């Protein structure tokens, strides 16, 4: 454990309140100057104009000590890039894009690492997100979508994977609950302070998440869940996980945005199909219909398939969908035709079977023993007929 200079942590706390996250210029400025010098420049108004403008009127405030105290009171801490538990591996994809500067420039779309993360809960952040999958989807979800989200969260938990989501109503909540039901840790990445229960109906859910999981946010304690913050937050959900599953999404929705962020970051994007009659599956089907195969989402129907899609090769293979087999499967073409030629009631001689089946009598005599062995036909004393056992459909 490297000790982190308290001045660094305080500077990053100040930056996390003064700067709305998502700005590549600001991230580069902080990387280049170091957090302490960056804060000093911004507070005295001598930073380059472009980054100074991003702070605006907030330059005059300093609530960093309050924020750190307030975090401590609710069991939270500020995790900074200088900490061991900083999820550097996961966030590397954002660092690369911010350095290259080739991503979208609009702040809510930008691919840029956070300056710091407020984390509430006991587990080290990097450990918990190492094997994690994002389950995202609409707040206005259907019972179907919630069922699938809960099943996936549960199945991921059973397989040792962390479910990460946004703590919102609908799909997010069902995903967290599914993971909790499996006794597995789950992480909620919020668009407000980690001391706030938003939505307030989720205060009990968040308390359960904290038993073994984490609440994470880029915004200091007390910050409100403003609309644009959800969009900025989505890149973190995509980056912190190995892949993002869109469980239900309308044609235009935040969940789709998270899926797009994941794709831009080279993460596995997955989508759950649903009824084509459901507006809440339209977004998922759009992701799956993408013509460019490199950009199309992977269709997933079970947690095992999710793990297969994000897991290391050969590590986590999903079993193929169950295919029942019947004795008929192993029959030759002639045997199948003879079987179909057998009447249900009165037995008929092999010559008649040959005429109906369209083959030679010798062929009929050759296949009858196998059919009898499989209890598919029986000898009545005067001829052959179908055995009475029930047979599945065509």
List residues near its own copies by CB under 8 A.
18-20, 53-58, 61, 106-108, 139-140, 144, 147-148, 226-231, 251-252, 254, 272-277, 281-283, 285-286, 288-289, 293, 298-299, 301-302, 305, 320-324, 333, 336-337, 339-341, 351, 354-355, 357-361, 363, 393-394
Strands (E), the chain: 76-79, 117-120, 132-137, 162-165, 186-190, 214-217, 243-248, 268-271, 298-299, 377-379, 384-386
Question: CA 148 to CA 146: how far, in whole Å?
Answer: 5
User: From the CB of 228, what's the least distance to its own copies, in Å?
Assistant: 5
* 62 secondary structure, DSSP code: -
Nearer to its own copies, 36 or 279 (CB): 279
Q: State whether residue 45 is helix, strand or coil.
A: coil
User: From the CB of 88, what's the least distance to its own copies, in Å?
Assistant: 26
User: From the CB of 289, what's the least distance to its own copies, in Å?
Assistant: 5
Angle, alpha carbons 56-62-66 (nearest 5°): 140
Residue 386: φ, ψ to 5°: -65, 140
Tokens standing for 32? 């280049």
User: From the CB of 130, what's the least distance to its own copies, in Å?
Assistant: 26
Nearer to its own copies, 113 or 254 (CB): 254
Closest CA to 163 of 186, 141, 183, 195: 186
User: From the CB of 254, what's the least distance to its own copies, in Å?
Assistant: 5
Nearer to its own copies, 17 or 120 (CB): 17
Nearer to its own copies, 1 or 313 (CB): 313
Nearer to its own copies, 6 or 320 (CB): 320
User: From the CB of 84, what's the least distance to its own copies, in Å?
Assistant: 30
Q: State whether residue 165 is helix, strand or coil.
A: strand
Nearer to its own copies, 21 or 185 (CB): 21
Nearer to its own copies, 185 or 274 (CB): 274
Q: Please, what's the b/e burial string for 324-355 (b: 16 or more CB within 10 A of its CB; e: otherwise)?
A: eeeeeeebeebbbbbbebbeeeebbebebbbe
Closest CA to 143 of 259, 274, 307: 274
Question: CA 162 to CA 213: how far, in whole Å?
Answer: 9
Tokens standing for 5? 């200079």
Closest CA to 132 of 111, 148, 153, 102: 153
Nearer to its own copies, 192 or 210 (CB): 192
User: From the CB of 339, what's the least distance to its own copies, in Å?
Assistant: 8
User: From the CB of 277, what's the least distance to its own copies, in Å?
Assistant: 7
Strands 76-79 and 117-120: antiparallel
Contact 99, 138 (CB under 8 A): no
């Amino acid at each position: 454990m490297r000790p982190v200079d308290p001045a660094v942590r305080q500077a990053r706390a100040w930056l996390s309140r003064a700067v709305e996250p998502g700005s590549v210029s600001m991230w580069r400025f902080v990387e280049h100057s170091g957090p302490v010098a960056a804060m000093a420049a911004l507070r005295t108004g001598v930073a380059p104009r472009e980054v100074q403008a991003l702070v605006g009127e907030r330059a005059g405030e300093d609530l960093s000590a309050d924020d750190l105290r307030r975090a401590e009171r609710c069991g939270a801490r500020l995790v900074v890039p200088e900490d061991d538990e900083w999820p550097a591996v996961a966030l590397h994809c954002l660092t690369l894009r911010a350095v290259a500067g080739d991503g979208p420039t609009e702040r809510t779309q930008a691919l840029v690492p956070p300056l710091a993360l407020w984390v509430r809960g006991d587990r080290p952040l990097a450990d918990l997100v190492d094997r994690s999958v994002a389950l995202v989807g609409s707040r206005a979800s259907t019972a179907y979508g919630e069922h699938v989200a809960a099943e996936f969260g549960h199945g991921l938990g059973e397989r040792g994977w962390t479910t990460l989501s946004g703590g919102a109503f609908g799909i997010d909540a069902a995903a967290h609950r599914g993971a909790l039901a499996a006794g597995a840790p789950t992480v909620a990445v919020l668009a407000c302070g980690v001391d706030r229960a938003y939505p307030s109906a989720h205060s009990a859910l968040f308390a359960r998440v904290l038993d073994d999981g984490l609440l994470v946010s880029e915004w200091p304690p007390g910050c409100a869940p403003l609309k644009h913050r959800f969009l900025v937050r989505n890149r973190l959900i995509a980056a912190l996980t190995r892949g993002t599953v869109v469980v239900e999404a309308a044609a235009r929705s935040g969940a789709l945005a998270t899926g797009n962020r994941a794709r831009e970051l080279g993460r596995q994007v997955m989508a759950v199909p649903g009824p084509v009659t459901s507006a809440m599956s339209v977004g998922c089907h759009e992701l799956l219909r993408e013509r460019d195969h490199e950009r199309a989402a992977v269709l997933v129907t079970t947690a095992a398939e999710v793990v297969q899609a994000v897991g290391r090769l050969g590590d986590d293979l999903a079993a193929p969908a169950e295919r029942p087999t019947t004795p008929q499967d192993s029959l030759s073409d002639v045997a199948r035709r003879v079987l179909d030629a057998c009447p249900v009631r009165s037995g008929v001689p092999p010559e008649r079977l040959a005429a109906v089946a369209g083959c030679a009598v010798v062929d009929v005599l050759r296949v009858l023993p196998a059919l009898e062995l499989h209890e598919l036909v029986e000898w009545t004393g005067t001829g052959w007929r179908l055995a009475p056992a029930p047979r599945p459909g065509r």
